[in-house]
Amino acid sequence: MHIHILGICGTFMGGLALMARELGHQVSGADHNVYPPMSTMLQESGIEVMRGYDALPQGPQPDCVVIGNALSRGTAVVEQVLELGLPYTSGPQWLSEHLLKDRWVLAVAGTHGKTTTTSMLAWILEYAGLQPGFLIGGVPLNFGVSARLGDSPFFVIEADEYDTAFFDKRSKFVHYRPRTLVLNNLEFDHADIFPDLAAIQRQFHHLVRTVPGQGLIIAPHDDKNIQDVLKMGCWTPVEGLNDAQTWHRDAADGGARIKFADRDYGQLDWSLVGEYNEQNALAAIAAARHAGVPAEQAVKALREFKNVKRRLEVRGVVGGVTVYDDFAHHPTAIEATVKALRGHIDHGRIFAVLEPRSNTMRMGVHQATLAHALRDADRSWLFQPAGLEWNLGEALSELGNRSAVFDNVQSIIDALLSSAQPGDHILIMSNGGFDNVHSRLLEALDSHAKSDSPTAGQGQ
């Protein structure tokens, strides 16, 4: 079968393409943004990628066109598919029909921590010798790839609530039919497609409806929004998190201890930082136990977990200044990331650099909580993208002179160069490429240090 994928360079669709090729299908695709590392991985797998959405590839028509949710009516290639009457589907539906239907699916849903928790869960199963398949919205460093078919009944998937396609406005995760479901947390997000929190909760309720009665749902006892979803109807056993009678963690020197009721499964002694990662670990351990992995073994597996790219990832250290890359873009995640870094470092200042890039952030939905999310940083520099309809400076006014807003990335780099001293930590947060600011900043820091100028190392 020849499958042509529109939007192929996204993490989800690119992973789907690689697995379809692994299944023996002929795969091609197109995307507006064709860039490494996904473009390189696709090319190495023999997948031809076209740039742009002007038309289908020349030659015999594909047997099926998989259309990503970024494409809409009026896009030239979409109109061509409809006019020719070609078979078409969405990525989640293709995945469900061709790959997930005979698997034990372990799905991780929630506003925050999906990628990390999914990666933890996949690694625990791998450590236990279960060789799971997985599809993750990031690159877990233990595997080096975002997707693989696996060699067992188990398939671990990051379950996103964003809509499926222009012709299917249900959340993507309703296609996955999990047997094991993690509900990490729930807040209002994706304001471009959901009018309010209740609309998101309705989609989560639809997901809960798909879990069989002999499956398992893992959900935090103390998340009211999740508990309200479960009250809408639940036909599956639920194991709680953050409840002394079920899964919880106790603080310990060097890491939390993982417990279920009164039973202690060992200390979480690992390289990750932050309470939110301990919470992610708790959910992954519970889900893995449902698949047959003893909790003691899961705790041992996480001691070798290497996290995911762009999750407090150290991009470099130059002249004693450490530069981090993080995917945080929702105020709750921003606050948790800054807090985790603050708890991890012994000394030095934290300079937070943020690109408010998500659709929800650009719409101004979270502007009232943004300053609070950044309060633990010593200084905050924000990039104001073109077309932002609200005033970043006003939103950050309570931070006073500890914040500044710039309309170009180079100005942010210049400000950091004039302020950073040895021992400082620069935390860059964005859910996009942020104009390659990480590499540019490291190069500038290196040149600045080598120049040995009289102003080098002076802070503001």
The Cα 9–Cα 172 span in angstroms is: 18
Q: Which residue has the tokens 């190069």?
A: 443
pLDDT for 254 equals 64
Residues of the chain where predicted confidence (pLDDT) is lower than 50: 454-460
In the chain, the N- to C-terminal Cα span, in Å, equals: 62
Q: Helix crossing, 275-290 with 331-344: angle to 10°?
A: 110
For residue 204, tell me if it sits in a domain: yes
* 210 and 243 fall within a common domain: yes
pLDDT (0 to 100) of residue 30: 95
Q: Alpha carbon of 291 to those of 37, 124, 134, 141, 190: distances in Å?
A: 32, 10, 14, 23, 31
Among the listed residues 78, 32, 70, 69, the one whose alpha carbon sits nearest the alpha carbon of residue 51: 32
Beta strands at 168-171 and 180-183: parallel, antiparallel or unpaired: unpaired
Q: Same structural domain for residues 393 and 435?
A: yes
What CATH number does residue 272 fall under? Answer: 3.40.1190.10
Q: Tell whether 127 and 237 lie within a shared domain.
A: yes
Query: Among 67, 90, 113, which residue terminates a domain?
Result: 90
Instruction: Clarify whether residues 8 and 148 are in a common domain.
Output: no
**Has residue 96 been placed in a domain?**
no
- Are both 280 and 156 inside the same structural domain? yes
Decide which of 90, 120, 147 is a domain's last residue: 90
The residue assigned the tokens 């993982």 is 258
Asked, for residue 152, whether it belongs to a domain, the answer is: yes
Closest among 214, 149, 155, 222 to 184, alpha carbons compared: 222
Tell me, yes or no, whether 81 lies in a domain: yes
* CATH number of the domain where residue 19 is located: 3.40.50.720
The phi, psi pair for 182, rounded to 5°, reads -100, 125
C-alpha span between 319 and 317 (Å, rounded):
7
- Cα 84 vs. chain centroid, distance in angstroms? 36
86 and 199 inside one domain: no
User: Per the domain annotation, does 456 fall within a domain?
Assistant: no
Residue 429 inside a domain? The answer is yes
Q: Which CATH number belongs to the domain containing residue 414 in this structure?
A: 3.90.190.20
Question: Is residue 37 reached through a cis peptide bond, with omega within 30 degrees of 0 on the bond before it?
Answer: yes
- Domain encompassing residue 85: 2-90
Q: Say if residue 122 is in the same domain as residue 265.
A: yes
pLDDT in the model for residue 234:
96
Number of H helices, E strands in the chain: 15, 23
Domain count, the chain: 3
Closest CA to 430 of 340, 359, 329: 329
Q: Which pLDDT value is given to residue 201?
A: 96
Does 308 reside within a domain?
A: no
158/282 same-domain check: yes
Listed residue (313, 324, 309) closest to 420, CA to CA: 324
The bridge status of strand 257-260 relative to strand 403-406 is unpaired
Do 203 and 268 belong together in one domain?
Answer: yes
Last residue of a domain, one of 56, 90, 124: 90
Q: What was the pLDDT predicted at 452?
A: 56
| Residue 201 contacts residue 228 (beta carbons within 8 Å) | yes
Q: 72 and 151 share a domain?
A: no
Would you state the pLDDT for residue 453?
53
Query: Has residue 32 been placed in a domain?
Result: yes
Residues 178 and 317 in one domain: no
Say whether 274 sits in a helix, a strand or coil: coil
Based on the fold, state whether residues 111 and 227 are members of the same structural domain.
yes
Q: Which residues contact 365 (CB under 8 A, 6 or more apart)?
A: 188, 191
Instruction: Decide if 47 contacts 2 (C-beta within 8 A).
Output: no
